[in-house]
């Protein structure tokens, strides 16, 4: 068990407890929320929750169980495809059910674990459980992901993602028909105010921009091509749900379970279809395409048959 007692600085006056702990102690927002929910945070002697607000000058007492960083465990993933590999990068086609890297509470396969099992060495920059990872896909999202193998690649790709120089094209099947059929959703995304594992459009969230275009319309659903200008967690899922067109198969963000069952989906219909960027060693533009996995092809066949 670890503990700290420290005053709230002026710059965090009025901040949420989980946000304040993340800033003051270096916790992730998720872990900070867990500590607060477990009763491990007191403000001037009073137990407070994750969404309560802190006041400048007040004393925070924080008590938490120490956790070692999760380790990368080599574990082969037969369905994970190597699309491209050289001395600097490896581009993988990630199947559903595989996390990008290890995390607290996740015991399933990971991209880094699969690469380690295959003898692929990645960059050593970054936290031990995330070395080489320059962007992530949700566990339930399939498709393209690039991992840095060299240190120069890690630095260059992190910069490219931050400066929005990477082209990230997703395909998604959403409920209903967006109006207009082609559009942009520009709405800030932050932590959901009452659900630890969800995100939402919030006034104090980070700027988030999603461009979409309808490729095909079906009775009650649409196939979209989505271009991400930013890369927030769950961005497409949150924006489409806020637009009242959640991804089919995504009950976390309001999808109709009846439609999901009819299409045979056990996850959100969301696929990282195209990835393009300047190669970190040559500067030459490279681009990769991923075909739809079998469960998505089946769902489209059912929709087209309608």
What residues contact 199, with CB distance under 8 A and at least 6 apart? 189, 190, 191, 192, 232, 233, 234, 238
Q: CA 148, CA 45: separation in Å to the nearest integer? A: 46
- The verdict on whether 138 is a catalytic residue reads yes
What Cα–Cα distance (Å) separates residue 161 from each residue in 127, 135, 146, 219?
18, 8, 11, 36
- In sequence order, what are the beta bridge partners of 133? 147
Q: Is the peptide bond before 132 cis (omega within 30 degrees of 0)?
A: no
Catalytic residue among 88, 138, 250, 295: 138
| CB neighbours of residue 98 within 10 Å | 23
Q: Which residues are catalytic?
A: 138
């Amino acid at each position: 068990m670890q503990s700290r007692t420290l005053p709230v600085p002026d710059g965090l006056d009025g901040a949420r407890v989980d946000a304040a702990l993340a800033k003051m102690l270096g916790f992730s927002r998720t872990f900070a929320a867990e500590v607060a929910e477990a009763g491990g945070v007191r403000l001037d002697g009073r137990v407070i929750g994750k969404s309560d607000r802190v006041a400048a000058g007040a004393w925070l007492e924080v008590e938490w169980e120490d956790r070692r960083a999760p380790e990368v465990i080599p574990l082969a993933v037969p369905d994970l495809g190597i699309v491209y590999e050289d001395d600097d990068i490896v581009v993988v086609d990630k199947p559903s059910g595989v996390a990008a890297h290890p995390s607290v509470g996740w015991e399933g396969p990971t991209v880094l674990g699969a690469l380690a099992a295959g003898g692929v060495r990645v960059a050593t920059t970054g936290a031990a459980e995330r070395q080489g990872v320059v962007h992530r896909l949700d566990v339930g999202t399939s498709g393209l992901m690039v991992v840095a193998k060299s240190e120069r690649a890690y630095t260059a790709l992190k910069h490219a993602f931050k400066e929005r120089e990477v082209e990230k094209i997703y395909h998604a099947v959403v409920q209903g028909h967006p109006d207009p059929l082609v559009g942009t959703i520009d709405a800030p995304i932050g932590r959901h105010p009452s659900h630890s594992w969800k995100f939402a459009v919030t006034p104090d969230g980070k700027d988030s921009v999603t461009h979409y275009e309808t490729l095909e319309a079906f009775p009650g659903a649409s196939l979209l091509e989505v271009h991400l200008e930013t890369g927030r967690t769950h961005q497409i899922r949150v924006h489409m749900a806020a637009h009242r067109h959640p991804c089919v198969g995504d009950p976390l963000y309001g999808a109709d379970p009846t439609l999901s069952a009819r299409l045979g989906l056990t996850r959100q219909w969301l696929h990282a279809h195209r990835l393009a960027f300047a190669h970190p060693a040559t500067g030459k533009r490279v681009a990769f395409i991923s075909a739809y996995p079998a469960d998505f092809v089946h769902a489209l066949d059912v929709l087209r048959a309608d």
